[in-house]
Amino acid sequence: MTFLSLQNISKRYDATVAVADLSLAIERGEFFGLLGPSGCGKTTTLRMIAGLETPDRGVIQFDGRDITRLSPERRGFGMVFQNYALFPHLDVFENVAFGLRARRRPKAEITERVKSALQLVQLPGYERRRTGELSGGQQQRVAIARAISIEPALLLFDEPLSNLDVALREETRGELRELVARLNLTAVYVTHDQEEAFALCDRICVMSEGRSLQTGTPRELYERPAEALVARFLGRNNLIKAMRLSASHVRSATFKTLEGGHTLNVFVRKEDLSPLNSAATLAIRPEYLRLSKTEIVEDNTLQATVREINFTGATTSIKLDAGGLALEALVIQADGLSVGDACMVMLPPQHITILGMNKGMRDERRDEG
């Protein structure tokens, strides 16, 4: 049985649609991510799970119970807010104890559980500190301790790391993952940071404009994006508009690019079968492009000119022009190439993804408009 399920959830504020017909199924013990650009409805979705908003339509079920209209205090979910929402008038101990006091637990138990919660987030001895005296990272830990102190059935995170600086964010990320695993909790995590979502989550739902675009493991999303928006949102991608030339048969197909008129061979899976002469978008990650100054005799090799070289540290991004087709390659080293040089670029067929045919093209056009 699905632990938490959202069925055809919709929510609108006045004229703006925040969430449209969203369905999710989250399993027990899963670390589930909601990923998308700001304004895509991910926070609203989380707030509906927490009970802070009520969906206009749809059903939320938790452990087989309909909780769609249950008030937040009756749900028993722990939530970590983006700005932590620590009570400024209470000290660390009282903040963590808040949920236990609301449940009227005996004093000894409260002391005990606050202590162990603070231990878990590595803040022992901070009980009597005022929240204002703590650093951002420490406040973050107090917020987490407060959320786990009530032994939540579900832990909700609303971009909890976005107010921390980069180094601290990566450190906290690891600890968070470990903590959730150790307590064997189920978590829903909202973020707009792809790297964060990939590092933390077992499965991720990529959202845009209130819709779910694709749900899957980080690897699936990265390697096999279902449509252009996902491909674009999850890291850099070369998106190539093309027409299908060869007849449909499993394993491989030939495409002709609209820009440059090159012929590309692509491995085709069953679900990618499509009629002849239909438009499609091909995607290939820049790190999969192979560059060479000398001739390569392999499929999908194009003549190109180097337009731009950007050194970014660990990798170097090289922008190429292959007879009108713009491509980007990520390499470890520029390999003696400089702007204006002619070179060969190879697109390995196994790394080319065919994106949802018509949808991909439509999104493409809308984005450009």
Partner 1 sequence: MRDEEKKAAGGKQSAVSGKRESVSNKNPTSAGFSFLSSFIPHPSSLIPSQVPHPSSLILSFVVFLVLLYGVVYPNLHVLVASLLRDGAWSVGNYVEALSSRTVQESIASSIGLSLLTVLLCALVGVPLAFLFERYAFPARRLFATLATLPLVLPPLVGTVAFIFLCGESGILARAVQWAFDLRSAPWSLRGWTALLIFHTYTMYPFFYVLTGAGLRLTDAGLSEAARSLGAQPFTVLRRVVLPQLTPSLIAAALLTFMTSMASFSAPLLFGGGVRVLTLEIYNARQRGDGAVALTETVILAIISLCALLFFQRYEGTRRFVAAAMKGTARRRSPIKSGTTRAVAVICGSVFSIALALPVATLVLVSFAREGGWTTQALPPSYTLDNYARLLTEGGTGEVIINSLLMSGIAALAALCWSFCAASLVAGGKRSSGVRSRWRRVVSLLVLVPWALPGTVVAISISEAYGETNPLTGSFILVGTFWILPVIYFLRFMPLVVRAVQASMEQIDPALEEAAGSLGAHWWQRFWRVRLPLIWHGALAGALLAFVIALGEYVASVLVFVPSNRPISIAIASEMRDFRLGTAAAYGVILIFIIAASMAIAARLEKRRR
Burial zone of 88 (CB within 10 Å; 0-12 exposed, 13-18 middle, 19+ buried): exposed
Assigned token pair, 283: 């995607």
Q: What is the number of other CB atoms lying within 10 angstroms of the CB of residue 139? A: 21
Q: Contact 264/352 with Cβ under 8 angstroms?
A: yes
Q: Strand, helix or coil at 61? A: strand
Strands (E), the chain: 4-13, 16-26, 31-35, 57-62, 65-66, 78-80, 155-158, 187-191, 203-208, 211-216, 238-244, 251-257, 263-268, 279-284, 290-292, 301-311, 316-322, 325-331, 342-346, 353-355
Residue 98 is a binding residue for partner 1 (CB under 8 A): yes
Least CB distance to partner 1 at residue 274 (A): 40
- Given 42, 75, 113, 241, the residue binding partner 1 (CB under 8 A): 75
How far is it, in rounded angstroms, from Cα 141 to Cα 118?
8
Least CB distance to partner 1 at residue 69 (A): 10
# residues near partner 1 by CB under 8 A: 35
Write out the binding residues for partner 1, residues 192-251 only, by CB under 8 A: none
How far is it, in rounded angstroms, from Cα 301 to Cα 53?
53
Write out the binding residues for partner 1, residues 126-185 only, by CB under 8 A: 146-147, 150, 156, 163
Residue 85 is a binding residue for partner 1 (CB under 8 A): yes
- Given 6, 50, 231, 289, the residue binding partner 1 (CB under 8 A): 50
Least CB distance to partner 1 at residue 76 (A): 7
Piece of 80-88, 185-193, 225-233, 339-347 that binds partner 1 (CB under 8 A) = 80-88
Residue 31 is a binding residue for partner 1 (CB under 8 A): no
Residue 14 is a binding residue for partner 1 (CB under 8 A): yes
Nearer to partner 1, 146 or 173 (CB): 146
Residues of the shown chain interacting with partner 1 in the complex, contacts defined by CB under 8 A: 13-14, 38, 43, 50-53, 71-79, 81-85, 87-89, 98-99, 101-103, 146-147, 150, 156, 163
